[in-house]
Chains A and B, each alone.
Chain A
Amino acid sequence: MAAMIEVDGLCKRFGAIQAVDDVSFTVERGEVLGFLGPNGAGKSTAMRIITGFLEPDSGTVRLEGVDIRDRPIAARQNLGYMPEGAPSYHEMTPLGFLGFIAGIRGFSGSEAEDRIATAAQQTQLGSVLYQSIDTLSRGFKRRVGLAQALLHDPEILVLDEPTDGLDPNQKHEVRTLIQEMAANKAIIISTHILEEVDAVCSRAIIISHGRIVADGTPEELKSRSERHMGVAITATRETCRQLVADLNALNGVRQVELEPRGLFVKPVRGSDILDPVRVLVRQRGLSVADIRLEMGRLEDVFREVTIPGGTGPGGTGDRP
């Protein structure tokens, strides 16, 4: 069976800027794909092409096997999309707005009412249903946009920064909601909040300057970090000084770095140095507060792959 979302060789150029550059991937049912990338990397443009709002210069998008350009209306029937900024008609109330969406989606009567009630409940809009959207807080506006995308219980969901502007509790709720729905849908969310990837995504793609620069599960991506399988030692400055030389001499150690609260031992890729480090510390009879294995941080990988020329603090991946 074809994948739910098939994206093949998308390219899109705006004047001199190559906004999307040969992007290909597929998303299967049950997957939550995280779209990561610096601001202006082409995430929103790619999503606009996938949902058929923009036409690519080349490449194809198929939703459940239906080409979005050949049969746009059919392809969108089973698609829920929340565009960047969660636009909605601000003069309407959430109830009126969702009623409009329900009508467009072909629901009427009690079925429409049920759909609206469910979507409002999922996004916790109950308290503001009769207030004009204009007067709502940013978090509520975002949830109105989310409710609109969920209303017809689509099998394909594309959400552009679904948790932007929400407070931590609301973020948690939206993430839980996405996780609950994930089993029988194919979902793409874009975000620049890396913890979100850990929280909800089964797979992540990092985009920079329109290109895919990394693609894998959050664990796979983390394993690309140079801190992956590294050992953090929390100890006093004096203890650290005594340890450095010996640690450097250990087999499998690539580099030892002094950090504010102790040491960080980076391994040669693929070697497990936790036990040797522990043994060494015990042999030297030194007391340390903590020895901990690190799995690497997405943040580091993100910086490595999106900042040209390494992980230095200068420069960003942003486009003008």
Chain B
Amino acid sequence: MKVIWILFRREFVSYFVTPLAYVFIVFFLGLLGAMTFFLGGFFDRGQADLAPFFAFHTWLYLLLIPAISMRLWSEERKTGTIELLLTLPVSATQAVIAKFLAAWAFAAIAVALTFPFWITVNTLGEPDNGIIVAGYVGSLVMVGAYLAIGSCLSSASKNQVIAFVLAVLVSLLFTVSGTPLVLELVSGWAPVLVIDVIAGLSFITNFEAISKGVLDLVNLIYFLSVMALFLFVNIVLVNLLKAR
């Protein structure tokens, strides 16, 4: 546990010594704001809720989260520090978990900094704050799932650009699987069960369920399972580096 904490702290602090953290946060908040107000019609809807705000999280994460996760392992492989890290008395499992948690904590800070939206709706009207809390919880577990995918694929390549592209691709599959576009593709021939499974695997579907205030355990477990699965593969991949 102590080892994980020390690895976590090093990783987490490293975000803030480079401009990466600040650039990311400014970009994330700016883009989210623009989408919410201009595309989401935050004011025009005349409703005191954060639905248009949360609606864009999925798409924003799809592109921005791989930018955080791509360096997690690629950079260590590129600079050779992975050799240092993995010859310290540290297991691959500890390293994977610590790095993931650090990235998650960083993403959580970025999400937390959207609090002015919450203040705004509370100033303008009387929103259901329970739904908003549910939305934030959903957003956090979803961001964790994106990060787990990104971290896993980051360990698959020395090249950060490749890690980024792979992460976006796999994330895209998980994101769009519930959209009409994909469902129409399969609905013609696939059995209902398959369609349900595909729809059920979608980040969008699961996130919408949570952010509408139906804080169903199933949706939470879904995101946690995705995290667990990809982190497990992540650990396997890091261990495989030894057997190259």
Binding site for B on A (CB under 8 A): 14, 48, 51-55, 72-74, 76-77, 79, 81, 83-85, 87-92, 96, 100-101, 103-106, 132, 145, 148
Contacts and interface: CB of A to CB of B under 8 A. Distances in A.
Given A100-B10, A104-B3, A53 B80 contact: no
23 contacts: A14-B244, A52-B87, A54-B243, A55-B243, A72-B91, A73-B91, A76-B88, A77-B89, A79-B87, A83-B80, A84-B80, A87-B81, A91-B17, A92-B17, A96-B13, A100-B6, A100-B10, A103-B2, A103-B6, A103-B9, A105-B89, A106-B2, A148-B84
Interface in B75-92: 79-81, 83-84, 86-91
Interface in B1-37: 2-3, 6-7, 9-10, 13-14, 17-18
A104 B7 CA distance: 8
B139 to A, nearest CB: 29
B244 A54 contact: yes
A interface, over-half SS: loop
Interface residues of B, number: 24
Nearest to A87: B80
A228 to B, nearest CB: 39
B81 A89 contact: yes
Nearest to A91: B17
Given A14-B244, A55-B243, A91-B18, A83 B90 contact: no
Contact of A53 (B2, B10, B87, B89): B87
B242 interface: yes
A87 B75 CA distance: 12
B242 A81 contact: no
Given A91-B18, A103-B6, A104-B7, A83 B84 contact: yes
Closest 6 CB pairs of A and B: A87-B80, A103-B6, A83-B83, A87-B81, A51-B87, A76-B89
A66 to B, nearest CB: 12
Interface string B196-213: 000000000000000000
Nearest to B14: A91
Contacts of B80: 83-85, 87
A55 B242 contact: yes
B14 to A, nearest CB: 6
A88 B81 CA distance: 6
